[in-house]
Amino acid sequence: MSSEPQAAGPLSGLLVIDLTRVLAGPYATMVLADLGARVIKVEAPGVGDDARQFPPFLAAGDSGYFASINCGKESIALNLKASADLAILEALLARADVLVENFRPGTMEKLGLSYEVLKERFPRLIYAAASGFGHTGPESSRPAYDLVVQAMGGLMSMTGQPDNPPTRVGTSIGDIAAGMFTVIGIQAALIDRQRTGLGQKVDVAMLDCQLAILESAIARYQVTGQNPTPLGSRHPAITPFQAFRCADRAIVIAAGNDNLWAACRDALGLQSLSADPRYASVDSRNSNQPALAEAIETRLLTAPADHWLALLAAAGVPSGPINGVAEAIAQPQVQARNMLVETETPGGAPLKIAGNPVKLSGHADPASRRPAPRLDADRAKILAELGSADKMKSLAELDTLAD
Amino acid sequence: MSSEPQAAGPLSGLLVIDLTRVLAGPYATMVLADLGARVIKVEAPGVGDDARQFPPFLAAGDSGYFASINCGKESIALNLKASADLAILEALLARADVLVENFRPGTMEKLGLSYEVLKERFPRLIYAAASGFGHTGPESSRPAYDLVVQAMGGLMSMTGQPDNPPTRVGTSIGDIAAGMFTVIGIQAALIDRQRTGLGQKVDVAMLDCQLAILESAIARYQVTGQNPTPLGSRHPAITPFQAFRCADRAIVIAAGNDNLWAACRDALGLQSLSADPRYASVDSRNSNQPALAEAIETRLLTAPADHWLALLAAAGVPSGPINGVAEAIAQPQVQARNMLVETETPGGAPLKIAGNPVKLSGHADPASRRPAPRLDADRAKILAELGSADKMKSLAELDTLAD
């Protein structure tokens, strides 16, 4: 599989030099690779990306975690404190469209690779930094992991059951949201470069991104003067919109407006509630949520989940099972949308990973990905290309050729 | 404030026609507006976007929810089932770079506005659709809300305290992740259009995006054969990495590797644990998480959170308070990064909303946003521009002029 070229995508020709480790940065460059970019991952000799040591392992030292986030990339090991290796990085940057790093702010300066230095030497280069707190502000140098920004950014205070211990979102949304905004910033800078001919710096902070995904919570705080609190599975402004137990397991129902509530009520055989003024409007349903939830759950507990889901689906009421990962990836819709693709770990073990959620009519959506690279796997090829004037091209050069 | 032009950004000149409602689509077009695009929101006459009816309200009918997600956009009310209004939409599409819609699949076909029809008439137009389940597959037409895809996509099964009722992420991450991937797809299509001269269809499903943010969970399921389960505030592969109670309130500590664990241990005065083989490696700490957590929490309960946070910060250990929204937005770092900006509701009430997390060296980061529009507020201006050949331009036209 590794000899196949990456499928052509909208970002084909884009050359990305990737100094990132663990998650926020590697997630961003994986999205770019899925869109067709060439991503050269520059890793520390010896150990490489820390994520190579993260479980689950398919064999000793063969991380499924690393493989999930780094498929389709190339790897070269460079010691950036050694001048010969630094020269290789600089040769790569001279050809590249984009540099991505997620070091603690100040690290690139110590390496002599600050944005100001790189901008002078490589004016078309887009420099993207994903960090915990950003490259400005009093806490810029403070260290962060996902959990820290989920906590400091407010999301953790709104997630969980009421009066329970603090609850983290079960995926690293602190890193992943920052990875997505880093991609958005890089692509915006690429579009800008078409006009200006110049690169720029993209500075994304994980903490900032947590603020950016709080939805209406900031407005709610301002209007009520109260901090939003965890609501279990409920929505703060829509009722019924939560999980309910059935005879065998729980399901979710999301009746987002009056028509859907009427359809839900009738599908569940609760027509008796139609005359109840407590449930006549979104506002009154919100105010009487506990009583309404009890009425619905009492009914749902009389039959299994599949019975109710079939009735709700027939009535067009948004609803569904609460799937584990096994059930989620086995869904026919997920299969039909190619959202589970084949790859291999660096050690050669087969592994399925999430597909590309950006479906484009102009490009194929491959059902496999090149494996995540072994550390330094692409050194010889990369050095040979650097030695040959016309072998490694950036998107900027391709654009110039096309003019 | 509404008379100020939108600040120039990397997407200045981009003309987006926005048919979206509630959240996933409006979030995407808000990100585009924050990057400088002109977004014309086309709403149903009479009520407009459903989100105008969502609390919190700053005055009767003046939704802070709507204002949070629609600042910087223009509004025109069009009845797409009436031929005169449909003609206005078509005139807008003739000028536009991007059309975004988040209807249930099939709705645009019923309006005579399928991608196939629009592609013939407007070959440079990028058509972006955000839907619950996508425009292909057996469940394409199934209705969805955020809660449904959080449940069906697996995230809910991994979020919460062990053995508790199902727990939803406290923000609508089902919509928001889809909104972000819609932006990523639109920008990728814009970059592609520079080469091909042609638009394309971007088809993003909320369910697909939930799969795409599961991080290592799909790999963990394949390796262990077990569904990942909720872990409260813990990380599945790093210890200590969770919330702990102190004498007054809880904090988070994320000691992501051996060095950080050693620093954490010493900062908390737990040097006695340094010789304990149970805590010598990431693997052994993961295996002995309950005992280690108890040892740490017993210590932390002897003093207040601020005491421990100061010691951990001095030692460089990633850690922080669990902030409510009030504390999150009041942080000096959030203020310094301009992550809380001023706007107004459609009714003219002042409101602070999250800023733009994409910080670009080439563009200013304004501290205010134009208000979210009143329904149909920009009709006269938009119709006047349509009547004048050179008033409303797309990015594609601007590019042509620049050549």
A48: which residues sit within 8 A by CB, 6+ positions away? A75, A77, A375, A376
Q: Is residue A392, in this structure, part of any structural domain at all?
A: yes
* Residues in chain A, total: 403
Which of the residues B180, B200, B301 would you substitute to probe the A interface, choosing the one with the greatest number of A C-beta atoms within 10 Å?
A: B180
Helix B173-196 crosses helix B24-34 at what angle (to 10 degrees)? 50
At position A15, the amino acid (one-letter code) is L
What are the helix (H) ranges across B38-172? 64-70, 83-95, 107-110, 115-121, 146-152
Q: What distance lies between CA B205 and its chain's CA centroid?
A: 14
Residue B50 lies in a domain: yes
Residue B335: name the closest of A228, A180, A133 by CA: A133
Tokens of B330: 């009041």
Closest CA to A1 of A96, A76, A77, A67: A67
Residue A26: inside a domain, yes or no?
A: yes
Query: A170 and A84: one domain?
Result: yes
CATH number at residue A345: 3.40.50.10540
Query: What pLDDT was estimated at residue B3?
Result: 38
Pick from A295, A321, A347: which residue ends a domain? A321
Residue that has been written with the tokens 């900062």 in this structure: B267
Residue A290 domain flag: yes
Q: Spell out, as residue ranges, where chain A has pLDDT lower than 50.
A: 1-5, 403
Helix (H), strand (E) at residue A57: strand A57-59
B91–chain A Cβ distance below 8 A for any pair: no
Domain that holds residue B62: 15-213+334-402
Domain count, chain B: 2
Q: Which of B321, B350, B382 is the last residue of a domain?
A: B321
Q: Do B320 and A352 touch (CB under 8 A)?
A: no
Inspect the interface and report whether the beta carbons of A340 and B211 lie closer than 8 Å: yes
Give just the sign of the alpha carbon dihedral A174, A180, A183, A189: negative
Tens-binned pLDDT, residue by residue, of chain B (403 aa): 333 445 589 999 999 999 999 999 999 999 999 999 999 999 999 999 999 998 999 999 999 999 999 999 999 999 999 999 999 999 999 999 999 999 999 999 999 999 999 999 999 999 999 999 999 999 999 999 999 999 999 999 999 999 899 999 999 999 999 999 999 999 999 999 999 999 999 999 999 999 999 999 999 999 999 999 999 999 988 899 999 999 999 999 999 889 999 999 999 999 999 999 999 998 899 999 999 999 999 999 999 999 999 999 999 999 999 999 999 999 999 999 999 999 999 999 999 999 999 999 999 999 999 999 999 999 999 999 998 866 788 887 776 655 4
Number of helices (H), then strands (E), in chain A? 17, 14
> What angle is formed at CA A173 by the lines to CA A113 and CA A65, rounded to 5 degrees?
75
* B4 within some domain: no
* Residues B48, B83 share a domain: yes
* Angstroms from B83 CA to nearest CA on chain A: 27
Using a CB-CB distance cutoff of 8 angstroms, which residues of chain B are in contact with residue A65? Answer: 216, 219, 237
The secondary structure of residue B104, as a DSSP letter, is: P
CB B72 within 8 A of CB B49: no
CB contact under 8 A, B235 and A146: yes
Q: Are residues A168 and A58 in the same domain?
A: yes
- Provide CB contacts within 8 A for B82, sequence distance 6+: none
Find tokens 């090149």 and name the residue. Answer: A370
Distance between A380 CA and the closest CA of chain B, angstroms: 30
Instruction: Provide the CATH number for the domain around residue A311.
Output: 3.30.1540.10
**In terms of domains, do B169 and B302 share one?**
no
Q: Does A185 touch chain B (CB under 8 A)?
A: yes
At B399 the pLDDT is 66
